[in-house]
Structure 1
Amino acid sequence: MSTQEQAVAVTRRLLIDGQLVETEQTLASLDPATGEVFGYAPEATVAEVDAAVGAARRAFDTTDWSTNHELRARCLNQLYQALRDNVEELRELTISEVGATRALTHGNQLEVPFEIVRYYAGLLEGYEWSEDLGNIEIRGQQHHRWVEKEAAGVVAAIAAYNYPHQLALAKLAPSLAAGCTVVLKGAPDTPLSTLALGEIIAQTDIPAGVVNVLTSSDIEVGKRMTTHPDVDVVTFTGSTPVGREIMAAASATLKKVFLELGGKSAMILLDDADYVKSAQFAAFSVATHAGQGCALTTRVLVPAADHDKVAQMIAGVFAHVTYGDPRDPKTYMGPLISERQRDKVDGIVQRAVAAGATLVAGGEKVDPGFFYKPTLLANVDPDSEIAQEEVFGPVIALIPYTDEDDAVRIANNSIYGLSGGIMSADQERAKAVARRVRTGTFSINGGNYFSADAPFGGYKQSGIGREMGRQGLEEFLELKTFAEVLA
């Protein structure tokens, strides 16, 4: 099949008001493993945003979606089954467009996110939508008070490219469970993956207008979504600089804003840690999806006396990381998403070396496609660009520290606070240090906190709010307090 024939075969449509819609302009999607055009997606304009928001507004205001808990649970269960039924098509699409390895699609790139949908369907079954506050006496009369939880309204959801299914479903499932209606915009680097979710939703009983799915590379589309007067909530996953712009834009109408932003997470190796296991964990973690994960521990903090030894261990592990065609089951690491992203990663690495960091491994582009060798920079200054800026590539900054207090200081020396990790032979010691690090998630000796029932989000400039868990549902709820005079 020629590239053009393949592109036509995977072209998809927008979902607006229950209808699958084509547009005059299209957006090319590249296969990052080859750099060639993989397919084309519709290029939404501001007019499509207005149509989608209008549909979501009508669905929220004129139907019983926001109050019919049983309907929402049934639709979420149906969506979960539809995702399972289409898993193999979604898998091949994700490998080709996202550059995710086949193994990752059995995990957080595809199948694990399905469980978010099922989790929220189950959460609805026993969720308490009201809380009784009891009676109080005021001027001789009894007043009964209670609080009810209501859907927040129309949600504008904007997702990043790195884990498109995870990011979309972590916004869609709780907002739908809450009774909101949604306009979802996929990232311009991975539009087909998000549109595929829209086409699956169109086959379910989710009413027209409840979910609308757009893709576009036009910055005005995103701006319109975040400033539209009929949007009540904005949820965004992406970089901190863009998050700041969205928060500022949404402030004009005081929209509820929920942001999952960047990270520069630190892994602390205490002096009693198993360095061999720690090096393996650190290296393979940062190579996951070519380092394109906001919560990855890209700063590794090590006792100064053991710095060089640990550097050689991590470099040795990197030498065994297989990278290449993500379709090959033996491949551990796929490509970066684009040439633009690869240039950004390489630029930061080269500037770090020029600033005095030691390049121990990697630091090279690999063609064809957008591959970058797993890279280790040692003797890194904790105040330098490579230690402070999110790279979003397979790059570790190895930083020496003097004692526990110094390690905690370095770990907290960041505008971010998304995640972190610690390795130690003493579990209680590890937990004591972990509690001093200001982040929203934390891994102790490789513990995995990431699941549908666990809230995920960060401190400081890593964001506002939490995705997943009961807290993820409540991001999309408003509280209404009632009082009545008893006869």
Structure 2
Amino acid sequence: MTVDQTRHSLDGRHRPMFIGGAWVEAASGQTMETRNPATGEIIATVPRGGKRDIERAVAAARNAFDGPWSRFKPHERQKLLLKIADLFERHWEEICVSDTTDMGLPIVRARGNANRVLGMLRYYAGMATAIHGQSIQNSLAGDIVSYTRKEPVGVVGAIIPWNAPTAASVWKIGPALATGCTVVLKPSEEAPLTPLLIAELMADAGVPDGVVNIVTGTGPEAGAPLAEHMGVDKIVFTGSTATGQSIVRASAGNLKRVSLELGGKSPVIVCADADLERAVPVAAMSVFANSGQICIAGSRLFVARSIHDEFVARLAAYAGALRIGNGIDPNTEIGPLISPRQLDRVQGYLRAGTEEGARLVAGGNRLSDGALAAGNFVAPTVFAGVSDIMRIAREEIFGPVISALSFDTLDEVVRRANDTPYGLAAGVFTRDLATAHQLSRRLHAGSVWVNTYHAIDPAVPFGGYKMSGYGREGGAEHLDEYLNTKGVFIRID
């Protein structure tokens, strides 16, 4: 399918939100714009939902949970998820174009996410029939049989960021459908279009009315009421640590379950024996992919002192050769930042790096020549001579900026790598198996990649330590986040 063959032309369209199986407007009648970050052009308007819209979406989700959806058998939920996956596969190009135009993801990268996203849906489909409790022998007086049941939590409120609309939507909705929950999803106001398309595809697949609801709006106006709502049984959130903390506070009203995947400042450690031909491009794209707008970005690059200068030189050359442009161009490797606000934020860090004494070896500037003038483009940037106390080495930038630091011993680099409030991910490059195992064990991070990066498998749990959140997405632990465990005791004598 080509761009012109997509089912929906987004230029100048208004896209309603999806509540209770119907396409509806905000109760206030207000709308908001979404723009192409590569061109600055308005590509659509969507409703500006608020508290009243959240209330009707939660009511629709509750009615669905208590109604026909509760009678779906595990094999029926499995069949539905497989049908959704097949529909996604048939309309994958449309989904990719939506992500590219709405948030700037290069189309080649979007297309490359097919295995991950479709794999998630099919993994959840498989897990839908693997949910079970346990029979437990007990030592109570009398003849008592005891066992546990796994039951769906109920209504799930999902709040997702703008940097991966497709994967984030599926990561929240997929396990909910597998376990028998219902969902109210609030996408980012910066990139709401793909979640609305996903809702349409799920309706086409036969998802019952009210099981999946999409409310578009801002964080304060729609996200906060969702987190606070007494009728929501669980909140699952991906985004900034500060917002995650506010969600935890908001959840206290009914002590709803909470899962959080938050920020990161991930270390990548390049040992002296590393294969540089492999390590340079992988370390570079651990940050530059998606223009650095990824929570797991390996933005603190620790390089063994003996190879530091050579590695940084190779890294700078690699950064300078990357093709930057509109993501819809299949030759583009680096697209724009999501918004002018994010552009200003990243430029502030570029200035801070120089002011605090780091040495700029690649990039460091906004790109505004020719076709890039109207977009939010920043050149892939490498700083050397960085110290651990500099802002660019301490704070999450969410832009294409690498801070290179040198180290001498493994004990030293482990201490420095762990000296951060975050603990989402880490990377290691070494040819020595003992070093790989030792660093994987000692690094305080939810995911550690050795001689690779960004490897995400639906069967492997993903999540953070410390201020990077709690709860897991992926693997059997993911479904447990959407299930309650009930103990049952039956006297049979």
| TM-score normalised by the chain length of structure 1 | 0.95
Superposed, which structure 2 residues align to 1:219-368 within 5 Å? 219-367=220-368, 368=373
The answer to whether the aligner puts 1:11 opposite 2:34 as a matched pair is: no
- Percent identical among aligned pairs is 36
| Cα pair 2:50 2:222 within 8 Å, conserved | yes
Whether the aligned pair in 2 keeps the contact of 1:66 and 1:178 (CA below 8 Å) is: no
The answer to whether residue 461 in structure 2 is matched with residue 455 in structure 1 is yes
Quote how far apart the aligned CAs of 1:135 are: 4.1
**DSSP-derived class of the 1:203 partner:** helix
CA deviations on 1:361-387 (whole Å, 9 max, x unpaired) are 111011220110000111111122111
CA deviation after TM superposition for structure 1 residue 208, in Å: 1.0
Question: Paired residue for 2:211?
Answer: 210
1:37 equivalent in alignment to 2:42: yes
SS in 2 for 1:136: coil
**Take 1:87 and 1:180, find their aligned partners in 2: how far apart are those partners?**
25
| Secondary structure of the corresponding residue to residue 301 of structure 1 | strand
Matched residue type, 1:49: I
The amino acid that maps onto 1:122 is G
* CA–CA distance in structure 2, aligned partners of residues 246 and 407 of structure 1: 34
Q: Please say if residues 383 and 401 of structure 2, whose CA atoms lie closer than 8 Å, have aligned partners that are also in contact.
A: yes
| Aligned amino acid, residue 207 of structure 1 | P
Give the direction of change, closer, same or farther, for the CA distance of 1:22–1:111 in structure 2 (3 Å limit): farther
Structure-to-structure mapping, 1:63-212, within 5 angstroms: 63-65=68-70, 68-108=73-113, 112-125=116-129, 127-138=130-141, 141-212=142-213
Asked if structure 1 preserves the Cα contact closer than 8 Å seen for 2:169 and 2:195, the reply is yes
**CA distance in 1 between partners of 2:454 and 2:378 (Å):** 26
| Code of the aligned partner of 2:491 | V
Residue 315 of structure 1 and its aligned partner are, at CA, apart by 0.5
- C-alpha contact (below 8 Å) 2:102/2:193 kept by paired residues: yes
Tell me the residue number matched to 1:466.
472
Q: CA deviation at 1:10?
A: 3.7
Match of 1:436 among 435, 442, 446: 442
Structure 2: which amino acid aligns with 1:318?
A
Task: Tell me how many residue pairs correspond in the alignment.
Answer: 480
Gaps of 5+ in 2: none
Q: Secondary structure at the match of 1:479?
A: strand
Q: Over residues 407-433 of structure 1, what are the superposed CA-to-partner deviations in whole Å (9 max), with x where a residue is unaligned? A: 101110111111111011212222212
Q: Give 1:62's aligned residue.
A: 67
Describe the shift of the 1:66–1:288 C-alpha distance in structure 2 as closer, same or farther (beyond 3 A).
farther
The range that moved more, 367-376 or 304-313, is 304-313
Distance change in 2, residues 1:378/1:8 (3 Å): closer
CA distances 1:281-326 after superposition (whole Å, capped 9, x unpaired) = 2113311111111112111001234332222111011111111121
- Kept in 2, the 8 Å contact 1:145–1:482? The answer is yes
Deviation (angstroms), 1:157: 0.2
Q: Are the counterparts in 1 of residues 272 and 306 from structure 2 also a CA contact under 8 Å?
A: no
Normalising by structure 2, report the TM-score.
Answer: 0.94
Instruction: Give the CA deviation at 1:6.
Output: 6.5
Q: Could you tell me whether the CA contact under 8 Å between 1:323 and 1:332 is conserved in 2? A: yes
* Corresponding residue to 1:385 among 368, 374, 391: 391
Q: Please, which of 440, 451, 455 is the counterpart of residue 445 of structure 1?
A: 451
Looking at structure 2, the residues matched to 7 and 456 of structure 1 have their Cα atoms a distance apart, in angstroms, of: 33
Kept in 2, the 8 Å contact 1:265–1:297? The answer is yes
| CA–CA separation in structure 1 for the residues paired with 2:176 and 2:71 | 10
Asked if 1 retains the 8 angstrom alpha-carbon contact of 2:367 and 2:379, the reply is: yes
Q: Is the 2:230–2:253 Cα contact (8 Å) retained in structure 1?
A: no
SS of 2:299 mapped into structure 1 = strand
Q: Deviations over 1:340-397 (max 9, x none)?
A: 1111111012112111111111110112201100001111111221111111111101
Runs of 4 or more consecutive aligned structure 1 residues displaced over 6 Å after TM superposition: none
2-structure distance, mates of 1:7, 1:436: 48
Question: Which ranges in structure 1 are unaligned for 5 or more consecutive residues?
Answer: none
- In 2: Cα distance, 1:29 partner to 1:136 partner: 62
Structure 1 residues 43-63: Cα deviation after superposition (integer angstroms, max 9, x where no partner): 212111100000111111233
Would the alpha carbon gap of residues 162 and 275 (structure 1) be closer, same or farther in structure 2, given more than 3 Å must change? same
User: Does the residue aligned with 2:45 lie in a helix, a strand or coil?
Assistant: strand
